[in-house]
Chains A and B, each alone.
Chain A
Amino acid sequence: MDDDLAGGEGSIVVAEPASASRVRIPDRLIARRHRILAGLLVAPTAGWTLVFFVAPLILITVFSFASENLVTFNVSFGWTASNYGAFGGSLYLWTLLRSVGLSLGTTLGCAVLGLPLAYFITRQRPGVQRILLACVIVPFWTSFLVRTYSWVNLLQSGGPLDRLAQGLTGHRFEVLYTPTSIAIGIVYSYLPLMVLPIYVALERVNPDLYDVAADLGARPWRQFRRVVLPLARPGLIAGIIIVGVPAMGEYVIPEILGGGKTLMIGNIIVSEFLDVGNYPFGSALAVSLMTILMIMLFALRRVQPALEAR
């Protein structure tokens, strides 16, 4: 994904010959001045990222191999893998599996809902497109916490959706504080992040292509499968990354819609750090999550060129 950026059109050679000849400063001095300037420009971002992003991640990785005496709170480094062992043999493994399942399921849910919507938007007139896009983006700007909380009201037993389900089907719809309500909340919150990249991918497509497919006799479903889906693929994969990765570490949604009963790995990490205070074990959980996500990302990056080549 970054390859595009790296080879972008913005790269230019350091010293402009025109100005150099006009001011008549030796090239060596200009080059040096540019190096100093470049150093000054990169210093804030490099310093900030290294100290407050890279260093903390290294710190928890190191600590995840340490062990803590739970009585004295003394931390000793023996390069032990026991934190990971404790993790593997415990109930937490189920939580991790549930997180992976919820992440995959909600990403799929976002794709199933987002793809037709993104396609539908690109097929409208420009004015209508803008209104529909605003309908997708504006909810994303409003308070995430309040929107998630709203689902508690909507999903509670005796609430609007429960009564609607009873009226329509005769069955009750009591899903609050279950994995289902967490999934509804996650899909709801992350959907715009799936719709936008797919929209960007499909928006570049010449609409005549669809008409050609129709003229050649492709039925709507076949048009969708053979034309729309392959064209949407780069956007779809970008959406899968940007939804699936953060969703797996979700903390707030399971906290509110899981009612403290159904948890995800993010909740366990938070409680290990803030409530229990077992930092080495909490670190091991965080590092495990990070590792799983990195593996998934690399797998997706490998898949992407292969898919695009087809």
Chain B
Amino acid sequence: MSFRRHPVAGALALVVIGYLWIPILAVAVNSFNRSSLMVRWGGSTAHWYSLAFHDHNVRAGLVTTLEIAIGSTLLSLVIAVSGSLWWRRASPRARAVYDALVYARIVLPEVVFATALFFLFLKSHFPLGIVAIIIGHSVWNSAYAAVIIQARLIGLDPAVEEAASDLGATPWRVFRRVTFAALLPAIIASGLLTFTFSFDDVVTSYFLGGNSSSPLPIVLFGMIRFRITPEINAIGVMVMLFTVTLMCAAVAVFAIMGGARRGRRGAFAEFYGQ
């Protein structure tokens, strides 16, 4: 019997995919559930959505989250793009150090990093708040962006740039019209990815937010811990729709803007260090 259609593998795959999706479906169903205990179905209602819509904390949190996500994404892109361009021509030793630091920023548990940065800000009297959160997010976000952009750079043949230069293009023009143009899909994709990560972050924001600014995940975290309400499900559904739309846009951009196969697969491969 061929293992390809082996019933055990197929059944297991279906169960695992179900495991991944059931909680999401439960959130979606409960967001319309009239029963606030969420144990049984109590008829449908849109009450939780209107509650979420008019919740002042949620609205303020959303604005704060968007400010943080946009700020940290732009910052991360500047760091990652310039770093990757340097990395391309650096010596093997310098590259090894750079790669180790990128890798460390991705795998170090966020709790350790967030406490350490919190402590640094505390000791240097740097005010906690939106700016502190943006700095914190950009530290790990720039590492994710760097991995994706580097994967794209590896796929870019230097001969193309040499050809442009031979044909009389100035170095700046070569960069703008060849290098940057080739990197653009990776920049857009990693920008959207880092935006989503920032949008979803709890731990770093929890430490660096101080008392004043609470982004949406922190507002939700507080709600989850102190008062269980189906309003969370309604907010959750809206947040999910938003991030999924963004990520689909990221994938579409990557796929449409050419070189997608090598780019995306390369990004996976680089990310997982193979």
Where the two chains meet, the residues of A that have a C-beta atom closer than 8 Å to any C-beta of B are 1-2, 4-12, 14, 16, 18-19, 22, 34, 38, 40-46, 48-49, 52-57, 59-60, 63, 113-114, 116-117, 119-121, 123, 132, 135-136, 138-139, 141-147, 149-154, 156, 158-160, 188, 191-192, 196-197, 200-201, 203, 210-211, 214, 220, 223-224, 228, 234-235, 238-239, 241-242, 245-246, 248-252, 255-256, 266, 269-270, 273-274, 279, 282-283, 286, 289-290, 293, 297
Partner of B82, one of A41, A53, A121, A224: A41
Where the two chains meet, the residues of B that have a C-beta atom closer than 8 Å to any C-beta of A are 1-4, 6, 8-10, 12-13, 16-17, 19-24, 26-27, 30, 38-39, 78-80, 82-83, 85-86, 88-90, 92, 95-96, 98-101, 103-113, 115-120, 123, 135-136, 138-139, 142, 146, 150, 153-154, 156, 158, 162, 165-166, 171, 196, 200, 202-203, 206-207, 217, 220-221, 224-225, 228, 232-233, 235-236, 239-240, 243-244, 247, 265, 268-270, 272-274
In Å, the complex CA distance between A89 and B128 comes to: 34
Q: Provided the pairs A18-B166, A214-B3, A250-B109 are in contact, do residues A41 and B83 lie with their beta carbons within 8 angstroms?
A: yes
Q: Provided the pairs A200-B268, A286-B111 are in contact, do residues A116 and B239 lie with their beta carbons within 8 angstroms?
A: no
Residues of B within 8 A of A270 (CB): 111, 115, 206-207
Residues of A within 8 A of B107 (CB): 241-242, 245-246, 293, 297
CB A233 to nearest CB in B, in angstroms, measures 11
Q: Is the CB of A59 within 8 A of B119?
A: yes
CB B274 to nearest CB in A, in angstroms, measures 6
In Å, the complex CA distance between A19 and B165 comes to: 6
Q: Is the CB of A143 within 8 A of B3?
A: no
Q: Provided the pairs A48-B138, A249-B111 are in contact, do residues A53 and B30 lie with their beta carbons within 8 angstroms?
A: no
Q: Provided the pairs A44-B83, A120-B10 are in contact, do residues A38 and B89 lie with their beta carbons within 8 angstroms?
A: yes
Q: Is the CB of B274 within 8 A of A234?
A: yes
Q: Is the CB of B20 within 8 A of A136?
A: yes
Q: Is the CB of B123 within 8 A of A139?
A: no
Q: Is the CB of B244 within 8 A of A138?
A: yes
Residues of B within 8 A of A273 (CB): 115, 118-119, 207
In Å, the complex CA distance between A107 and B23 comes to: 20
8 additional contacts (CB under 8 A) given A5-B270, A269-B111: A2-B99, A12-B158, A44-B82, A60-B116, A139-B20, A210-B2, A220-B1, A290-B112
How many A-B pairs have beta carbons closer than 8 Å: the answer is 305
Q: Provided the pairs A38-B86, A41-B85, A255-B225 are in contact, do residues A52 and B117 lie with their beta carbons within 8 angstroms?
A: yes
Q: Provided the pairs A10-B156, A143-B239, A266-B109 are in contact, do residues A191 and B116 lie with their beta carbons within 8 angstroms?
A: no
Partner of A153, one of B9, B30, B139, B265: B30
Q: Provided the pairs A135-B20, A200-B269 are in contact, do residues A45 and B3 lie with their beta carbons within 8 angstroms?
A: no
Name the residue in B13, B39, B202, B233 with the highest tally of chain A Cβ atoms < 10 Å from its Cβ: B13
Residues of B within 8 A of A119 (CB): 9
Q: Provided the pairs A5-B270, A38-B86, A143-B240 are in contact, do residues A59 and B16 lie with their beta carbons within 8 angstroms?
A: no
Q: Is the CB of B112 within 8 A of A149?
A: no
25 contacting pairs across A/B (C-beta < 8 A): A5-B99, A11-B88, A18-B165, A44-B82, A53-B139, A63-B119, A113-B12, A117-B12, A123-B4, A138-B244, A141-B243, A142-B239, A143-B240, A145-B202, A147-B24, A196-B272, A220-B8, A242-B272, A249-B110, A252-B221, A269-B112, A282-B115, A283-B115, A286-B112, A290-B112
Partner of A16, one of B4, B23, B162: B162
Residues of B within 8 A of A5 (CB): 95, 99, 150, 270, 273
Partner of A113, one of B19, B86, B111: B19
Q: Is the CB of A188 within 8 A of B80?
A: no
Q: Provided the pairs A2-B273, A44-B78, A197-B272 are in contact, do residues A142 and B105 lie with their beta carbons within 8 angstroms?
A: no
In Å, the complex CA distance between A175 and B37 comes to: 18
The 7 closest A-B pairs by CB, nearest first: A249-B109, A146-B236, A45-B83, A1-B273, A56-B116, A197-B272, A150-B23
